[in-house]
Amino acid sequence: MTKLFYIKSYDEAPGFICDVTDDYGKANLLKKEYEADDPIGKYKVQYTPGDTEIVVTKFNQERMKKFLNLDYKPKTYGAA
């Protein structure tokens, strides 16, 4: 079983998992990318997802599918 590294946003309780990878170096690069994109936010790399929500976005959808088998589902607003 591959060890996974989770990037967690924790600036608001309880926080959420915003990305995942199987490489510690890549996890730190992703963390820095999130910090550069959101300098006010707080991010950390952790070894388990815990009980926090996992959020799939356009940015992380390939990694979420590869490592957690989760799909990106765009939000739809109103009826068409």
Tokens 């388990």: give the residue.
Answer: 48
What pLDDT is recorded for position 35?
A: 96
Other CB atoms closer than 10 Å to residue 41's CB: what's the count?
13
Distance CA 36, CA 20 (A): 17
pLDDT in tens, 10-59: 987 789 999 999 999 999 999 999 999 999 999 999 999 989 999 999 99
pLDDT-derived band at 2, boundaries 50, 70, 90: confident
Output the pTM of the full model. 0.86
Other CB atoms closer than 10 Å to residue 16's CB: what's the count?
13
Tell me the pairing of strands 5-9 and 16-21: antiparallel
The DSSP symbol for 80 reads -
Mean pLDDT in residue range 61-71:
96
What pLDDT is recorded for position 34?
A: 96
